[in-house]
Amino acid sequence: MLVPILKQGQYLIASVQAALTDADLLKLRDALTEQVGTFRSRGVIVDVTSLDVMDSFACRTLSDLANMIKLRGAETVIVGIQPEVAFAMVQLGLKLEDVATALDLEEGLEFLNRKTLQMRHGIKPPR
């Protein structure tokens, strides 16, 4: 199953719709890394609201994705991790270190707006 990637201004938004296989996740990672260049995007949002399981592979792939996007010069934010998914991740010992997360799409966009403003003008965002 392919994850649809939407272009919204200077951002790419990928909404993970259903249970993804490992192969699907890797495809998503590669597609986003590629498309950041194609569309000269400044930021990527991965919306995992409908994901009910985040296991070690999914976690590592999202982390790799964020690092690869970073190397391409853009920012990534993972949004919509559900409370029970967060609980299961913590129990399992999974951390999304060095990866930005936000409550939902709205917060994710807000985060990217602040980040890109900072990148463009060298302004420290208000804390």
By CB under 8 A, name the binding residues for another protein. Answer: 19-23, 52-57, 59-60, 82-85, 87-89, 91-94
Q: Toward another protein, which CB reaches closer, 35 or 82?
A: 82
CB of 84: closest distance to another protein in angstroms? Answer: 4
CB of 63: closest distance to another protein in angstroms? Answer: 10
CB of 58: closest distance to another protein in angstroms? Answer: 8
Q: Toward another protein, which CB reaches closer, 37 or 87?
A: 87
CA 115/CA 118 separation, integer angstroms:
5
Task: Tell me which DSSP letter residue 10 carries.
Answer: T
Q: In what order do the strands lie in the sheet with 43-47?
A: 5-8, 11-15, 43-47, 75-79, 100-102
CB of 94: closest distance to another protein in angstroms? Answer: 7
Would you give the distance in Å from CA 112 to the centre of its chain? Answer: 11
Q: Toward another protein, which CB reaches closer, 52 or 106?
A: 52
Query: For residue 52, what are the contacts with CB-CB under 8 A and spacing of at least 6?
Result: 19, 82, 84, 85
